[in-house]
Amino acid sequence: MSDNIEEIRKSVKKYIIIGVTLIICTGLTVWLSYVELPTHGLNILAGMILATFKAALVALIFMHLNHERSVIYKILIFTVVFALALFLLFYFSNIDPLVFEGFYKHNE
C-alpha cells in the first residue's frame, strides 16, 4: 500500500463507488424479482447477468485481479466461457419443447 495520502483517498473513493454500484445492482436484482418479464426465462437470464456483473466487480476490484499477470486472464476467460455456457444451457432447457412434450406424454 502506498503512503501517499492522495493515492489512498483515490483508492478509498474507488472502493466507495464500487460498493455503491454493488448496492444499486443488488437493489435491481430485488426489483427484478418482483417484475414479470414476458417469460420466466428472461427473468432468470436478467438475474444471471446482474449476478455475473456483480461477481466480476468483486473479483476485479476487491480481490485485486485487475492487477494480475496475463496468465490469470486466460484462466478467467475459460471460466467465464464455461459459466456462460452453463447459464445458456439452463436458459435453453426451460424453452425446449421436446423436454416439455416428453414430460406431458408420460404424465397423461
* Nine-digit cell string for 14: 474507488
Q: Please, which pLDDT band fits residue 84 given cuts at 50, 70 and 90?
A: confident
What average pLDDT does the structure give for the chain? 81
Q: Please, which pLDDT band fits residue 64 given cuts at 50, 70 and 90?
A: confident
Residue 96 has pLDDT above 60, yes or no: no
DSSP readout, 35-90?
A: S--SSHHHHHHHHHHHHHHHHHHIIIIIT-GGGS-HHHHHHHHHHHHHHHHHHHHH
Find out whether 21 and 62 touch, Cβ atoms under 8 Å: no
**From CA 34, how far away is CA 61, in angstroms rounded?**
30
pLDDT of res. 104: 54
